[in-house]
Amino acid sequence: MVIGVLQHSTYSQFGNFTGSSLSKISIVLIVVGVSIVLVSLLGHIGAFMENTSMLGSFICILIVILLLELLTGGAFYILHSRTALLKMNSDINTKTREAIYKYDPENRDPVNRIQEKLSCCGADTYTDWYRSGGWAKQDAVPDSCCVVKKPGCGQQKEEINKKGCSMAIKLFLLKNIVWVGAVCIGLGITAVTEGLFLQKCLKDIFNFCL
């Protein structure tokens, strides 16, 4: 659940540049996380009370959650496949250039946050700002491009980041996609182990009752 919340917070910052697919996957992680908390509580209560019906329900629900975890982890790795990478690469390039060249009131804050967070400037390079229709100063860049942000620093080329934000966004997202996918699969394996253990407990309780 914590992973889902953190990833949703992270990916929502990039929604203007990547679309909504990554945010949707992180929402699935949050739902799965909440379900795990509730189902784990059910399992522990069932084990404590030696309630076979409750433990049986726990195992069934655990299997469903396991499938969701594995599917979510698989979705992240599918995003890492060659075809998906090419699609994401194209989308980010297009949306980042559009955001820079328009630079309208709707996307100014997201653009500036990304430039500060990832230490980048422009879409492909800082000179993209010189061709931006929404940026009035054609001989300067926004102060969010600066290595050390201060008023007017965008007018000094030696004080700004030169790398473009398209590549910076792609590298940042790819690192997160691989990490989250691995965690989801790891959680799925943990769930299998826990399910097998509780299945054994259920069998022992059933044999004891007989």
Q: What is the pLDDT of residues 115-131, one digit of tens each?
A: 998 999 999 999 999 99
Indicate if the pLDDT at residue 2 is higher than 50.
no
Q: What is the pLDDT of residues 91-113, one digit of tens each?
A: 888 888 999 998 988 888 989 99
115, 149 in Cβ contact below 8 A? no
Tokens encoding 156: 């000094």
- What is the distance in angstroms between the CA of the first residue and the CA of the last residue of the chain? 39
Indicate if the pLDDT at residue 160 is higher than 90.
yes
For 2-209, which CATH class? mainly alpha
All structural domains of the chain with their residue ranges: 2-209
In sequence order, the β-bridge partners of residue 125 are: 163
Percentage of residues in the chain having pLDDT higher than 70: 42
- When pLDDT is cut at 50, 70 and 90, the band that residue 4 belongs to is very low
Q: What is the pLDDT of residues 146-157, one digit of tens each?
A: 999 999 999 999
Write down the mean pLDDT value for the chain: 72
- When pLDDT is cut at 50, 70 and 90, the band that residue 29 belongs to is low
Q: What is the pLDDT of residue 198?
A: 57
Total residue count of the chain as it appears in this document: 210
